[in-house]
Every structure is written in structure tokens, then in C-alpha cells.
Amino acid sequence: MDGPWEGSADVDAYARGLAEYLLICERDDVDPVTAGRLHVAAFVKDLSTRPSRRGANVVALDSGAGPANATL
């Protein structure tokens, strides 16, 4: 991809997020084009219950599970 987004970490992160969402849709037999609010909410809930990528030993109020609130 050429332009200001070339090599952007944001684009990489969005691509990973989209790929993960599409995998969840496939797993749950949901058409991502017609997915509704309930499907998206289930995906966000799934994200919020996963172990933190920062590790369980990070000392912070929100440590332990899911991505940061700003990510959601």
C-alpha cells in the first residue's frame, strides 16, 4: 500500500482486528455483512474476557483481562 498509511502500525492493528472478527463470525456461523448489534456485542464481550496481552503480572487497576477501554 502506498501513501501516508504505508507501514502504519494502525493499519496493521485494524487488519488484525478485522481478521479476528471474521474468524469469530466464521466460528459462530454469522455472516459478517449482515451481523447485527448483538453479534458485535458478543464479539466485544469475548474480547473483554480474554487475558490481557500485557500479562497477568502487570500492576494496574485494569490488569488481568481484556484490552484497554480505549481499544473497545
* Residue matched to cell numbers 466485544: 44
Torsion, Cα of 51, 57, 61, 62 (10° steps): -20
- Does this model's pTM top 0.85? no
The whole-chain average pLDDT of the chain stands at 77
pLDDT given for residue 9 in this prediction: 82
The number of helices, as runs of H, and strands, as runs of E, in the chain is: 2, 0
pLDDT given for residue 12 in this prediction: 87
Weakly modelled stretches of the chain, pLDDT under 70: 1-7, 52-72
52 DSSP assignment:
P
pLDDT given for residue 22 in this prediction: 94
Q: Name the grid cell of 49.
A: 474476557
